[in-house]
Amino acid sequence: MAETLWLSCQVDYACRHSGACCRAGWPLPVEARVVAAIDAAVTGGRVPTVDGSVVWLQESAEAPEGMAGTFRLAGGACVFHVARESGGETVSSARHCAVHATLGHEALPSSCQHFPRVCLVDGRGVRVALSHFCPTAATMLVDATRPVTIVAGPAAVPGGGVPEGLDVRDALPPRLSERVLMDLDALTAWEAHVVHALAGPSAWPGAVEDVLAQLAAQAADLSRWTPGDGPLVDAIGAIVRQPVAADDAARSDSTGAAWTPEAAWALGAEACRAPWTWPALPANLPALDARWVAPAWPYVAPVVRRYLAGKAFGAWVTYQADATQALAAWLSLALTVLRVECARACAEGPRPLDRERLVTAVRQADLLLVHYADCAIVAGGLLTRGQA
């Protein structure tokens, strides 16, 4: 494999045992390869369960080959999410994964090892994005202070080989348009351009909505490239070097990139995977946004830009839909979902948008976009919108 790449604001990620993944109520798959070691540690008293039972595996006769079942849930959380001990006393307010704490990262099932990593594996190597549903990932994003760059980093999973994720090494390159494919050098250049425009050292000035509109206009221009125009990577270089025209935002209206909350929520409801339920839009959303979110929006723009850079980097939609107009539409969809969730977080109180509510909104947005939504259905919706 070639190098593993990360965004600079996330390359130092390490699990801090917040337990959000343990408490999410997700059925966590367990490979047969880890059963013996965990079972021996549980029956030997080295690894406790939250309710003291030695039964920890929910077996399934329908489990795929190589899978034994899922971790048993107790009280809606993984049975191994237990109170930790400190100085011989149990500290109920501090909990951790008993398997991870006792047996180490390598003993965990693959899904636990990977969370919150969202990996794209292609002919260039591995790109590691993070799900900000993880509180650690969300706080790293919100509290970052430096411009975002794409940097080489550690392996996606400590001690692992090729990580799980979207592996397209044997697939065709991403689509530039309905009839033309990109090459990987061009994809790398375009991805870097989008990330840098949003949150890089020379990030474009102005409101984030205007930046997305300008990127959408550039994506529309790029999608009209043909092989007779010369190398695609040179065409992207020309776009990167050219000044952004004042009317780019207006021209982008025809690309189908912008999403209203109603349209975003319709796609979310369609793409939501059972047994999860896509939440309803908050009541009186325009009033909530005007009172609590809009006044703070310019001040939280750096966080919003970093969030969108994370959605552009290693984006699966580049392969599942296309890397130009569909990617622009994906970023606009993510922006709409994030802003709605900011209003929802502010309504709990109610209070103006602040750091705490922004972290809540970022986490909820990725819970919906990364975990609840079927990414293939979302990609189809982006393609349909771009062709409308």
Strands 4-7 and 125-130: parallel
Cα(222)–Cα(372) distance, integer angstroms:
32
Looking at residue 240, its pLDDT comes to: 87
pLDDT tens figures, 61-88? 777 888 999 999 998 999 999 987 765 5
Cα(329)–Cα(255) distance, integer angstroms:
8
Taken in order 119, 22, 78, 35, the sign of the CA dihedral is positive
Residue 36 CA to its chain's centroid (Å): 33
Burial profile 105-139: b = 16 or more Cβ within 10 angstroms, e = fewer: eebbbbbbbbbbbbbbbbebebbbbbbbbbbbbbb
pTM (2 d.p.): 0.93
Looking at residue 91, its pLDDT comes to: 53
Looking at residue 250, its pLDDT comes to: 45
The domain spans of the chain are 29-108, 173-387
Looking at residue 245, its pLDDT comes to: 52
Looking at residue 64, its pLDDT comes to: 83
User: What are φ and ψ of residue 91, in 5° steps?
Assistant: -105, 95
Per residue of the chain (388 residues), give pLDDT as tens.
Answer: 578 999 999 999 998 888 899 999 988 999 999 999 999 999 999 999 999 999 999 988 777 888 999 999 998 999 999 987 765 555 555 788 999 999 998 899 999 999 999 999 999 999 999 999 999 999 999 999 999 999 999 999 877 678 999 999 999 999 998 889 999 999 999 999 999 999 999 999 999 999 999 999 999 999 999 999 999 999 999 998 876 654 554 444 444 468 999 999 999 999 999 999 999 999 999 999 999 999 999 999 999 999 999 999 999 999 999 999 999 999 999 999 999 999 999 999 889 999 999 999 999 999 999 999 999 999 999 988 765 5
Residues with Cβ within 8 Å of 211's Cβ and at least 6 positions away in sequence, in order, are 197, 198, 203, 204, 305
Cα(250)–Cα(269) distance, integer angstroms:
29
Helix or strand holding residue 318 (H, E): helix 317-320
pLDDT tens figures, 280-313? 999 999 999 999 999 999 999 999 999 999 999 9
Looking at residue 243, its pLDDT comes to: 67
Each as own residue / partner, the long-range contacts of residues 229-238 (CB below 8 Å, 24 or more positions apart, any chain) are 231/186, 232/176, 232/182, 232/183, 232/186, 233/183, 233/185, 233/186, 233/189, 235/186, 236/186, 236/189, 236/190, 236/193, 237/189
Looking at residue 221, its pLDDT comes to: 94
